[in-house]
Structure 1
Amino acid sequence: MEHLRRHRYVGPADLLDQPAAADTVAAGTPADLARWLAGRARGDLTEPFTFVVALDGVLRLAPRRSEHVALAGGRDVLAAGEMAFAADPGWRVVAVTNQSTGYCPDPDCWPAVAGALDRAGIAHPGGFTDRVVFRRCPGCGERNIVRDGDLTCALCGGALPARWNF
C-alpha cells in the first residue's frame, strides 16, 4: 500500500470514552458487506453509514449515528466519512464523503477509501461524491468546514490557511 496520511482524532475529548458500536462490520469482502447490510432495517438503508478506513486498510462501517472515533477504537485512521449503498444486483457505493468532524480528513484521503473498497471487491463512484474541506483556525483553534472557498474562521473571523492543517 502506498504511503497514505494518518489522521488522528481532533474532535471533542469526551467522545474518546465512547465504547465502540456493537453493530459494526469490517467489510473485507463483498460477502461481509452483504451479510451486514442484509441485517439492516429497511429505513436504515435510505441514509449513509459511518465509515473509517483503519490503518490496516480495512473498511469499517457502523450505523450513521455512530461516532467515527468509536468505530476506530480511538485510533488513527487513513480516512473517515459517510457512505451510502445500493443493491443492483450486488451492493455498490452510490455516495461517499469525507464528512467527519472528529478526524477532519482532507479529500486527499480518497486513495485509502478506493483501496479499501477495491480490495473488498465493492464497486464505487471513483471519487468522493461530496468533498468536505476542513481547516483549523490558527488563531482560536476552532475546526472549520470551508464553504465556497471562504477561508474565514466561523468562530473568530480569522484567516484560515490555504492548506489542510490538522
Structure 2
Amino acid sequence: MVTRVERSYEYVGPGDLLRLVRPEAVGEVVESIADFTAWVARTPSVELDEPFTYVVDLSGYIRLAARRSEHVACAAGQRVMAAGEIAFDKRSSEGWTVSRVSNQSTGYCPDLSSWDAVASALDRIGLSHPPAFTEQVVFRRCPACAELNVVKDGFFACAFCDSDLPPSWNVATIAPQT
C-alpha cells in the first residue's frame, strides 16, 4: 500500500533544463529489492561509490539516475513527492543499505517533510535507511523578489534582496510583491 503524501512538488528550476527530459534520461523505477539488485548489477562499480539522483514519483516509487542527472529528467518532467541525492552501502551480512540521503534538489526544492515519502518508498522495497535526511536543505522563495533561496545556518534572509524569508516552505511559483 502506498502512503499518500499531501504535498507534491512541481519543477521550479531553470526552464532550459526541461529539454533534458527524454525517454532515455528518465530515472529507473525501483519497485522491489529484486529491481534494486538488478539496477546495482547494471551500474558500474565506480558509480556505486557516489550518491545518485533520486525522485519519489506520485505513485510512491523511487526512481534512480546517475548523480549528475537532473531531477526533472529523472522524474520525466512530472511532479514528485520527494527529490534529492542518495548513497548506498553494501554490508555483507545485511545486504544493501542507504548510507546517506538528502532533499538537495534545486529543481524541485522539496520541504523537509518530504522525508516521509522517501522513507515509505525505501521501506516498500526493503532497504534499511537512516531515520531522517542525513543532509537537510531548507528552501524558501522570497516573497519580495520571488527568487529561490537556500537557507543557511538558520538565517532566513533573501540572498538577493535581503528581505525576510518565511519560516514555512513556500517555494511553489509565486509573483513578487509590488
TM-score band, normalised by the shorter chain?
over 0.9
Separation in structure 1 between the aligned mates of residue 129 and residue 44 of structure 2, nearest angstrom = 22
User: Which amino acid is the alignment partner of residue 4 of structure 1?
Assistant: E
Partner of 1:164: 169
- Equivalent runs, 1:4-153 vs 2, <5 Å: 4-20=6-22, 21-22=24-25, 24-89=27-92, 90-153=95-158
Secondary structure in structure 2 of the residue aligned to 1:4: coil
Separation in structure 2 between the aligned mates of residue 137 and residue 157 of structure 1, nearest angstrom = 9
CA contact (8 A) 1:25 1:32 kept: no
Distance apart, 1:139 and its partner CA: 1.4
Partner of 2:174: none
Q: Percent identity?
A: 52
Runs of 4+ in 1 over 4 A off after TM superposition: none
CA contact (8 A) 1:94 1:125 kept: yes
Separation in structure 1 between the aligned mates of residue 96 and residue 109 of structure 2, nearest angstrom = 27
Secondary structure in structure 1 of the residue aligned to 2:46: helix
Distance apart, 1:128 and its partner CA: 0.5
Q: Which sections of structure 1, spanning at least 5 residues, go unmatched? A: none
CA contact (8 A) 2:26 2:74 kept: no
Q: Tell me the TM-score normalised to structure 1 length.
A: 0.95
CA contact (8 A) 2:51 2:67 kept: yes
CA contact (8 A) 1:151 1:159 kept: yes
Secondary structure in structure 1 of the residue aligned to 2:81: strand
Separation in structure 1 between the aligned mates of residue 25 and residue 165 of structure 2, nearest angstrom = 38
Secondary structure in structure 2 of the residue aligned to 1:42: coil
Q: Which sections of structure 2, spanning at least 5 residues, go unmatched? A: 172-178
Distance apart, 1:22 and its partner CA: 3.9
Distance apart, 1:4 and its partner CA: 2.8
Larger radius of gyration: 2
Separation in structure 1 between the aligned mates of residue 139 and residue 131 of structure 2, nearest angstrom = 21
Separation in structure 1 between the aligned mates of residue 144 and residue 26 of structure 2, nearest angstrom = 39
Aligned residues: 166
CA contact (8 A) 2:87 2:98 kept: yes
Separation in structure 1 between the aligned mates of residue 26 and residue 36 of structure 2, nearest angstrom = 13
Q: Tell me the TM-score normalised to structure 2 length.
A: 0.88
Please report the RMSD computed on the Cα atoms of aligned residues, expressed in angstroms. 1.3
